[in-house]
Amino acid sequence: MTTQPETAEAPGTKPSGFAATDVLVNEFDGGPDTVQRALSTPEELQPHTELGLKDDEYDRIRQILGRRPTASELAMYSIMWSEHCSYKSSKVHLRQFGEKVPQNTRMLAGIGENAGVVQISDDIAVTFKVESHNHPSFVEPYQGAATGVGGIVRDILAMGARPIAVMDPLRFGAADHPDTARVLPGVVSGIGGYGNCLGLPNIGGEIVFDPTYQGNPLVNALSIGVLPVERLQHKEAAGIGNVVVLLGARTGRDGIGGVSVLASATFVEGVEQRRPSVQVGDPFMEKLLIESCLELYDAGLVAGIQDLGGAGLTCALTETAAAAGTGMRVWLERVPLREASMSPTEILASESQERMLLIVTPENLEQVLAVADKWGVWATAIGEVTPHQGDGSPGRLVISWNDHVVVDVPPGSLADDGPVYARPIREPADLILLQADKAETLPRPQTGDELRETLLRMAASPNLCDKSWVTEQYDRYVLGNTVLAQPEDSGVLRIDEQSGLGVALSVDGNGRFARLDPYEGAKLALAEAYRNVAVTGAEPVAVTDCLNFGSPEDPAVMWQFAEAVRGLADGCQQLGTPVTGGNVSFYNQTGAAAIHPTPVVGVLGVFDNVARRIPMGFPQTTDGDQLFLLGETHSELSGSEWAWVTHGHLGGRPPKVDLVAEQRLGYLMARASMAGHVAAAHDLSDGGLAQVLVESCLRYNVGASITLPQDDNSAFVHLFSESAGRALVAIPRGHDQAFAALAAEYGVACTPVGVTTAEPVLDVQGEFSVQLDEVREAWTGTLPRLFGGPAELANRHGDPEHAADPTAPAGRDDADEVLETAAAGAAMESAAPIEADGIPAAAVAEVKDEVRSVELEITEPVAAPEPAAAAEPAAAADGQSAAEPATPEQPED
């Protein structure tokens, strides 16, 4: 026995990729480090610094326990007190979301829950959340991104909801950098591979390229689910004597150290050695897990539930017990393992995916195990809920391993009582000079030919170009309820078939704006996501966020974070859209170089009927629609896409945001949508009016004749300014006067700027004219040129025939056509007959029954065949069937 742990691997052990855990795995005298042994060896040295714990944090643990922690306890504290799990550097600032929360009667669950829940009708609620999986996606792009999707989906599932869609805000380094070519295809494949296998549509997101994310991409994932109001679930481990059930996949060594090493530290050399810390996903198991949980909810068999994601079993056990103030007794040897040699420390730290922790009454246990067996997932009773202590204080979490007690802690000390730091904050030293270097002074195009060349150059730039290379790898229309999806401003989903009730979702962020002014940058991210939802005609009602920043130990980063949180809290209070939950991701930097502060904001909107949603593309009409620019344009070019693409410039101050004007614009669009005044609408943001014209014209190959306003602004400013609070709308003839009157009623500036045309030409009167074919060639060619053409894309989809001849149409069958028709809105049956986007109403009726049959194949469970691996749940470590847990007597230390 040694008093100073060695770093060398012990004979017969398998490295986890987490060096300090490998140390703890080495055990003592052939057995685990028990509580009894900890009491008898108080001065034994422990590798707390290798686990990320500071000396004072370690001393506090010893004070809490009244002894040194066991190896398993030390690992648990290191995980739960990590930045990722404890929010120890951000809590003091995040409190503003509660202090400034606007009054909102829709909120059913908010910050502190697995995901926020918002009521959208008398009996229906939706839950949504965005989280990060940044560092794992750099180390192992495919699995990092895939398990990011799986984890956020389980957060939604844990609230009692059926997941119905995902979104993916992504940020990579320079588009032409070799490492971006390594990371991006893997990330996209991981997101598509996992989400497509789950049968969830990917309805939107972002793809941004910037050198600041080189070596530290941002892979944020959002999911949304729907549930009956009365089916809302909670995580509390209430009910003394209730059974603790582990449901889902078996536990392996993947993901050990994920939250405390990958997510709570900066990157240094040798990150490729951390691949074992990245979780490995199995979307087919997740699909079975979803269906089994939903059946358990509907049968009323679950008293509490928590998903296992970051921190794995450690987090699930401590959070459920702490939330109820109860104790818990757990027999760790019952946990089904993929590798029998795993130590108790590894089992507790593992972040193996596709697992849930259930709290079940004893009388319901048999039914729960039967449902799990039906769906072919593991279900094992691993413990029970124990009472408060005799003095009325919360109960204790006691965990044993083969009759040895290896953990005996107050669960609240892990889940709720971690360290909280008011870290030093200091404005970045370069900020004053950076803000003084305004883009408004840069050379700009003057002639019509120069404006034309700039429009084409901007359209072909990586951040503004066509993203179909990515989005075509995702299924955007599975389940038949997608009404709008990428490249629309917001994803729109039908929730209720009878009424047409639906939701709109958008995610946005701009790291350059936040770098120039994090307070205004956060408000601008909120404003753009809010506006994206509003221009579809939906009412924005709630917010989720993913706050991506550098190291909290850098005072400049903490200043950026504090300002961004303040801006977002102030903005949400003003707009009346509460923050329902989200995620903080720190340590996004390689060495000393931090990313731009990147608050990503998701906004949820509600439709009473999705039949009135407004698409972004100009529709094909014989008369041509009137085009109006809503909002005011100013010479605001700092932080703009034009400044970056043309000059590689970042400086000045970002556009001013007027949230009152944003709110008025939202009211106008909702009212105009109800009245049927608007044929198309697109918000102005990156690239300004020029980019909106490109995207709206190319959507359905409809031209436009534009007459720019004659005012103090130049043609260049009108085309490329990124002033906030603006949108371009197409108004059918005969509706223009009514719409203008409505805009005046809401105090929204409404300027006529042209008409749509049947001729496929974008004509800016007095400046330039360009054929849409030329614009399309510039817009669509960038990503295939950077990351591979149709042949490579076809190979990734397993279509070798199309790969051999990229000009030939890919293999199709009737089912493809049915789903494609549903994708365009053909499955919609709400209210009066409508034309789905590009599909006549007659076609809708023709495919209705066929689409329903496809949906049934996806959503209706059938008698589950008995899989070879899951028909008989494998024996637990003690030889007992997973479906028949034993109830051994209380073991001694």
Lowest pLDDT segment from 336-345, 613-622, 870-879:
870-879
CA 340 to chain centre: 34
Q: How confident is the model at residue 810 (pLDDT cuts 50, 70, 90)?
A: very low
pLDDT of amino acid 795: 56
pLDDT at residue 786 greater than cutoff 90: yes
Question: Containing H/E element for 579?
Answer: strand 579-585
* 33 backbone dihedrals φ, ψ, rounded to 5°: -80, 105
pLDDT at residue 827 greater than cutoff 60: no
CB 115 within 8 A of CB 85: no
pLDDT at residue 687 greater than cutoff 60: yes
pLDDT at residue 258 greater than cutoff 60: no
Determine how many CB atoms are found less than 10 A away from the CB of residue 56. 9
In the numeric block, the tokens 């027999």 are attached to 331
What are the C-alpha distances in Å from 653 to residues 421, 437, 574, 687, 729? 30, 9, 22, 17, 28
For residue range 290-319, what is the model confidence (pLDDT) as tens digits?
A: 999 999 999 999 999 999 988 899 999 999
pLDDT at residue 619 greater than cutoff 50: yes
pLDDT at residue 151 greater than cutoff 80: yes
pLDDT at residue 106 greater than cutoff 70: yes
- % of the chain at pLDDT higher than 70: 83
pLDDT of amino acid 747: 97
Q: What is the mean pLDDT of residues 403-420?
A: 94
Rg over CA atoms, the chain:
28
- % of the chain at pLDDT higher than 90: 77
Determine the 3-state secondary structure of 385 from DSSP.
strand
Closest by CA position to 346, among listed 50, 20, 21: 21
Q: What is the mean pLDDT of residues 588-594?
A: 88
Lowest pLDDT segment from 286-295, 377-386, 845-854:
845-854
Number of H helices, E strands in the chain: 31, 28
pLDDT of amino acid 254: 82
For residue range 186-227, what is the model confidence (pLDDT) as tens digits?
A: 999 999 999 999 999 999 999 999 999 999 999 999 999 999
Closest by CA position to 414, among listed 608, 590, 259: 259
Percentages helix, strand, coil for the chain, rounded to the nearest 5? Answer: 40, 20, 40
- Bridge partner list, 267: 590
pLDDT of amino acid 792: 59
For residue range 314-323, what is the model confidence (pLDDT) as tens digits?
A: 999 999 999 9
Q: What is the mean pLDDT of residues 638-649?
A: 97
* 419 backbone dihedrals φ, ψ, rounded to 5°: -65, 145
- Beta-carbon contacts of 786 under 8 Å, excluding residues fewer than 6 positions away, are 175, 176, 181, 462
What are the C-alpha distances in Å from 554 to residues 424, 562, 587? 8, 12, 10
Q: What is the mean pLDDT of residues 817-825?
A: 35
* Alpha carbon distance 397, 409 (integer Å): 5
- What DSSP letter does each residue of 165-226 carry, written as one string? EEEEEEEES-TTSHHHHHHHHHHHHHHHHHHHHHT--EEEEEEEE-GGGTT--EEEEEEEEE
Closest by CA position to 616, among listed 516, 695, 563: 695
Q: Measured between alpha carbons, how far apart are the two ends of the chain, in Å?
A: 19
Q: What is the mean pLDDT of residues 519-523?
A: 98
Q: Is 284 left (phi over 0), alpha (psi -120 to 50) or beta?
A: alpha
DSSP 8-state class, residue 654: P
- Bridge partner list, 703: 757
Higher pLDDT, 599 or 26: 599
pLDDT of amino acid 112: 87
- What DSSP letter does each residue of 109-124 carry, written as one string? E-BTBSSEEEE-SSSE
pLDDT of amino acid 448: 96
Q: What is the mean pLDDT of residues 563-581?
A: 96
For residue range 464-504, what is the model confidence (pLDDT) as tens digits?
A: 999 999 999 999 999 999 999 999 999 999 999 999 999 99
Q: Which residues are catalytic?
A: 84, 133
pLDDT at residue 876 greater than cutoff 90: no
pLDDT at residue 274 greater than cutoff 70: no
Higher pLDDT, 251 or 264: 251
User: If you average pLDDT over every residue of the chain, what do you get?
Assistant: 85
pLDDT of amino acid 824: 36
For residue range 69-96, what is the model confidence (pLDDT) as tens digits?
A: 999 999 999 999 999 889 999 999 999 9
Q: What is the mean pLDDT of residues 408-428?
A: 95
What are the C-alpha distances in Å from 398 to residues 212, 240, 356, 409, 728? 46, 15, 20, 7, 61
pLDDT at residue 829 greater than cutoff 70: no
Q: How confident is the model at residue 182 (pLDDT cuts 50, 70, 90)?
A: very high
* E strand segments, 309-424: 327-331, 355-360, 378-386, 397-401, 404-409
Question: Containing H/E element for 769?
Answer: strand 768-771
pLDDT at residue 592 greater than cutoff 70: yes
Q: How confident is the model at residue 380 (pLDDT cuts 50, 70, 90)?
A: very high
Q: How confident is the model at residue 26 (pLDDT cuts 50, 70, 90)?
A: very low
* Alpha carbon distance 582, 390 (integer Å): 37
Cis before 487 (ω within 30) = yes
pLDDT of amino acid 273: 47
Q: How confident is the model at residue 720 (pLDDT cuts 50, 70, 90)?
A: very high
Determine the 3-state secondary structure of 460 from DSSP.
coil
- Beta-carbon contacts of 185 under 8 Å, excluding residues fewer than 6 positions away, are 141, 787, 788, 796
Higher pLDDT, 466 or 254: 466
* Alpha carbon distance 568, 563 (integer Å): 9
pLDDT at residue 18 greater than cutoff 60: no
pLDDT at residue 869 greater than cutoff 80: no
In terms of C-beta distances under 8 Å and separation of at least 24 residues, what long-range contacts does 392-396 make, across chains too?
394/321, 394/322, 394/325, 394/326, 394/327, 395/321, 395/325, 395/326, 395/327, 395/328, 396/327
For residue range 109-125, what is the model confidence (pLDDT) as tens digits?
A: 989 899 999 999 999 99
- Bridge partner list, 187: none
Q: How confident is the model at residue 790 (pLDDT cuts 50, 70, 90)?
A: low
pLDDT of amino acid 266: 57
In the numeric block, the tokens 């961004």 are attached to 564
* Alpha carbon distance 522, 577 (integer Å): 14
SS3 readout for 676-733: CCCCEEEECCCCHHHHHHHHHHHHHCCEEEECCCCCCCCHHHHHHCCCCCCEEEEECC
* Alpha carbon distance 207, 821 (integer Å): 27
Lowest pLDDT segment from 139-148, 269-278, 660-669, 759-768:
269-278
pLDDT of amino acid 265: 54
